Amino acid sequence: MVEQGIRYREKYGWSKRWHSYRNYARGIFPGYDSSSDGILPYNLVYTMLRVLVPNVYFRNPFINITPRLRPNLEISAKVVESLDNWLISELDIKSTIKSAIHDCFFTNRGIIKLGYDSLFGFSKDFTLDLIGMGSVTYTQLDKKGRRLEYNINVKPGMPWAVRVLPDYIVVPFGVKTLDECPWIDHIIIRPLEDVKADPKYKYTRDLEGTHMELLYKDPQRADFYRELSKEVDLVELHEIRDLREGRIKVFVPGYDKWLRDEEDILQIEGLPFVSFTFNEDSEYFWGASDVQIIEPQQLEMNEARTQAMLHRRLALVKFLVQEGGMSTDEVDKMLKETVGPVAFVKGIPNQVVQMLQPHIPPDLVQWVEVIRSDVREIMGIGKMQAGEVVGGRKTATEAQIVQLAHQLRMDERRDIVADALVKVIRKINQIIFDRWDDKRVAEVVGYDAAKYWVEFTKRDIVGEYNYRVDVESMTPITKALKKREIVQIIQAIGKHPRANVDYLLRMLLREFEWVDALKLLPPAQETQLQPMPFGQFAQLQTRLLQNPEVLQERAKRNAEVIGGAL
């Protein structure tokens, strides 16, 4: 089944071309050799990648959470919101999303794997008592206490989310989405020494290195791994998450024993993977990537640029001299850089010497611009979004129309990435609700704009919530436009008694990079030193909401703050 899944990826995802697509962004093209007189490339792939990523990824990811079905979960939602936004920073999910966007550009799939405690498969059979964290399962160590995992964003007793190269993912033939996937295979390359020392694996005594049978079938990676295998013995592990049986299984090609075959306790609301695609194929899981779509234009651009380069060389000034009309010494005089040289010819000068200067066909330059225009149209990226200077004067209305057309294309991709982030956070929360049995502490902003250290257990926060990516976390078109929008929001709702004007003003101050928002606008009161039990925090916040005097005082303070700020 695995080999059939690999054929599915190769035939309908064109995975054998992915390495070439990445090489395009590296500036490596067919026929190009930087040490010789090869082609002259113009890197459209790199240009589009550098325009796409800043327009799509999250500058400062922030999740807004509201309770679903149960209104009395409103206080719990504030704790979960604070916890999730801390985890986004702590687990470096911003970088994970950014790397997945890169993958999607080249392969049409961005894939994120989620887990708990261990990068290579959580097991509840290993527990340690850690100071400040209580009893946690720690599966990153061997029996001697040495580390077997080296990703610093995967921490003991914590959920995690990492990007996985689509090259190492196999899904069943014919599957269209992960939501209907009965199993998924993640190919993992680990040193033989670590595999044998990892207590999660069984029957490793007779295991040998360089089990790379399936990856060696990919000629683009075979040389790399053969070279790497000279330094360290490697093992190709296939970690299968079987949704049908609810188990995690690990095998090595050519080895007759399962290294793992046990219950997969992390299969909560489906498989622990999230994927997204920019060019959805309604029939197949894999599909045509952005680079695959613009590859013909990239190769044609290289050819046109190369032809222009050759014509330029031909167009250098040349001289036709009548045979015997000038001696070698006189030719040298004429070609020297000395100002006003005098050369003697045998005969009438304009008949003995004639200058020849071919021209560069103007169609070549025009054709290059046509290709660039085609790529921008395909990607939905205009000259302004690519950072180019647009000639001619345009009215504000014309510029707005162009910007709206661009936004329609980019907003779709932003929504795709935002949906993926929401799925990641939702799955992380389900892991937390299942695994965090001990008390935890989170820093929560209350309705009075003060910060509280709140002590909670999973019973206090378990529930169904609505998740929404805050628009403040998306990369803005311009800082000036974003500032105007924030000011408009403050003016519209700032005098409402429940409006958190401090938050809006901090968002406004964040757009001035030379200002420390927290120092200029500190919280309403100092954070308490001792953690507050969740029940006490909930009672305090409920009283704040139910006390009309508090709300009136807050509305008055909001009006004063707005008047002073605007």
DSSP string of 453-474?
Answer: EEEE-HHHH-S-EEEEE-GGGB
Alpha carbon distance 393, 168 (integer Å):
50
Residue 556 has a pLDDT of: 62
Alpha carbon distance 308, 366 (integer Å):
11
**pLDDT(358) > 80:** no
Least confident residue range of 110-119, 259-268, 518-527: 518-527
Residue 483 has a pLDDT of: 75
Average pLDDT, the chain: 81
Sheet holding 110-116, edge to edge: 159-164, 110-116, 273-276
CA within 13 Å, CB half, 332: 3
SS3 63: strand
Burial class (CB in 10 A: 0-12, 13-18, 19+), 144: exposed
Residue 476 has a pLDDT of: 46
Q: How confident is the model over 443-452, as a mean pLDDT?
A: 76
**pLDDT(313) > 60:** yes
**pLDDT(262) > 70:** yes
**pLDDT(349) > 60:** yes
Least confident residue range of 48-52, 125-129, 248-252, 463-467: 125-129
Residue 408 has a pLDDT of: 65
Torsion of CA 382, 387, 390, 393, to 10 degrees: 100
**pLDDT(67) > 60:** yes
| 376-407 tens-digit pLDDT | 888 877 655 444 544 555 555 555 555 555 56
Q: How confident is the model over 345-362, as a mean pLDDT?
A: 77
| The pairing of beta strand 532-533 with beta strand 247-251 | unpaired
- C-alpha distances (whole Å) from 491 to each of 250, 487, 558 are 58, 6, 10
**pLDDT(463) > 80:** yes
pLDDT: which is higher, 250 or 140? 250
If pLDDT is split at 50, 70 and 90, which confidence band does 536 have?
confident
If pLDDT is split at 50, 70 and 90, which confidence band does 62 have?
confident
In this structure, what are the phi and psi dihedrals at residue 255, rounded to the nearest 5 degrees?
-105, 135
183-187, 268-272, 341-345, range with greatest mean pLDDT: 183-187
Residue 341 has a pLDDT of: 79
Alpha carbon distance 379, 52 (integer Å):
9
Residue 389 has a pLDDT of: 43
**pLDDT(512) > 50:** yes
Alpha carbon distance 213, 222 (integer Å):
10
In this structure, what are the phi and psi dihedrals at residue 563, rounded to the nearest 5 degrees?
-60, -35
**pLDDT(448) > 70:** no
Q: How confident is the model over 61-67, as a mean pLDDT?
A: 86
- Tokens representing 383? 């000259």
Residue 312 has a pLDDT of: 78
Residues whose CB is less than 8 angstroms from the CB of residue 233 and which lie 6 or more positions away in sequence, other chains included: 191, 192, 193, 208, 209, 210
If pLDDT is split at 50, 70 and 90, which confidence band does 348 have?
confident
If pLDDT is split at 50, 70 and 90, which confidence band does 251 have?
very high
- Contact between residue 62 and residue 85 where contact means Cβ atoms under 8 Å apart: yes
- C-alpha distances (whole Å) from 350 to each of 42, 319, 322, 452 are 42, 11, 10, 92
Q: Is 183 left (phi over 0), alpha (psi -120 to 50) or beta?
A: beta
If pLDDT is split at 50, 70 and 90, which confidence band does 517 have?
low
What percent of the chain is predicted at pLDDT more than 90? 31
Q: How confident is the model over 496-503, as a mean pLDDT?
A: 67
Domain regions of the chain by residue span: 293-379, 415-565
If pLDDT is split at 50, 70 and 90, which confidence band does 171 have?
very high
pLDDT: which is higher, 52 or 448? 52
N- to C-terminal Cα separation, the chain: 64
Alpha carbon distance 354, 271 (integer Å):
77
Alpha carbon distance 84, 106 (integer Å):
30
Q: How confident is the model over 443-457, as a mean pLDDT?
A: 81
| Residue 391: DSSP 8-state | P
Would you give the distance in Å from CA 448 to the centre of its chain?
Answer: 36
- Contact between residue 222 and residue 228 where contact means Cβ atoms under 8 Å apart: no
Residues whose CB is less than 8 angstroms from the CB of residue 422 and which lie 6 or more positions away in sequence, other chains included: 63, 467, 468, 469
If pLDDT is split at 50, 70 and 90, which confidence band does 106 have?
very high
pTM of this structure: 0.80
Residues whose CB is less than 8 angstroms from the CB of residue 73 and which lie 6 or more positions away in sequence, other chains included: 67, 463, 465
pLDDT: which is higher, 159 or 30? 159
Least confident residue range of 232-241, 263-272, 443-452: 443-452
